[in-house]
Chain A
């Protein structure tokens, strides 16, 4: 896929305008899962804007986003970084498969207390 179309698709999916970002880093500063990410929220914004998308597609950081909306809420410019991270994830998971979560792996994660909410949420994020 041509890189310029990829950027366009990600911007359309997310509705995010990375040009609004003033690179203050507040999104990454407030991210509760910062330590688990190879690329942090502010890097997603900058790298997509620069067309440097390939590393993001190949990074497990797209699965580390908690979708907690902390970065979205606290961005002083309403950039909504989580929507951009999720759009990259949607591109990766938008293939016919295989997906990040193989349903056969699910039973190994289950216990007697795990709420259905955890399973449906994981399917939505890791298998699509």
Chain B
């Protein structure tokens, strides 16, 4: 089973672990991530303006590349997932966007009308491999570990566009935690924002947000948190203060559970 794969800027730099453990786990579970050629950064934030076209083009190029390969386009980073899927939705539902991006990209022989399916790596585990099969492949279960899923914003919202899970009561990461043998901890802040990019505006914003999230997860008994977003992980760890909670990429946990971590 092969998928087109969009890594995004951070996975080639500060979040190399997110990618490395995803790739070796994928091979162990029977699928391969094929990096699309000449991909460009998605921009990190979905351009909300109806008249913003240029900032949507890198996503359209990636989507068109996956279409040419005839494969679904997989992401690992929550932000890439959010931006690519929302831009894909624009091309599919907004004729003006569809016209303008194609008008611009025809010089590059690119024609794209929303054919590609954007999926998150977790969806492959859930919908293709299946949690039972993930569970069967686990060699080192996280037995007795209380793990808090931190979804943040970008994996879940807008729910109508992303359709990954129930945006207010998600269970995707909790099912993942169960599959690797851990015990999921439910806490109210699991789908509230970490403060995102606002350290460039006011450090106290991500600081206050992160402290609230960590305190809530700790109160509910979590031993550590799991995420798929490099910026969430950064904000939570940067502002952890007295909190003892670590924040780990889900792929690292997966690789560890599958017995692949020590060897790499």
Contact = CB atoms under 8 A, between A and B. Distances in A.
A117 B44 contact: yes
A57 interface: no
Interface stretch (B101-109, B114-122, B134-142, B194-202): B194-202
Given A113-B237, A115-B15, A117-B77, A87 B48 contact: yes
B70 interface: no
A15 interface: yes
Given A87-B48, A126-B200, A116 B14 contact: yes
A49 interface: no
Contact of A12 (B50, B158, B201): B50
Contacts of B196: 66-68, 118, 121
A125 B205 CA distance: 15
Nearest to A83: B48
A111 B197 CA distance: 14
Interface in A60-118: 60, 63-64, 66-70, 72-74, 82-83, 86-87, 90, 101, 105-106, 109, 111, 113-118
A81 to B, nearest CB: 11
A87 B68 CA distance: 34
A13 interface: yes
B111 interface: no
Contact of B192 (A32, A35, A90, A116): A32
B49 A117 contact: no
Contacts of B199: 109, 118, 122
A59 interface: no
A116 B10 contact: yes
Contacts of B13: 115-116
Given A14-B50, A109-B200, A124 B44 contact: yes
Chain B interface mostly helix, strand, loop or mixed? loop
B221 interface: no
B55 A124 contact: yes
A70 B197 contact: no
Contacts of B41: 116, 120
A81 B52 CA distance: 18
A111 B199 CA distance: 12
Contact of A70 (B79, B192, B233): B192
Interface string A35-74: 1100000000000000000000000100110111110111
Nearest to B200: A122
Contacts of A117: 8-10, 44, 77, 79, 229-231
A114 B234 contact: yes
A42 B15 CA distance: 37
Interface in B194-217: 195-202, 204-205, 208-209
Given A113-B238, A115-B233, A116-B13, 14 more contacts: A14-B49, A60-B201, A67-B153, A69-B158, A70-B157, A114-B234, A115-B13, A117-B44, A118-B200, A118-B231, A121-B43, A121-B45, A121-B196, A124-B44
11 contacts: A12-B50, A35-B208, A64-B201, A69-B153, A73-B167, A86-B48, A87-B49, A113-B238, A118-B44, A118-B199, A125-B197
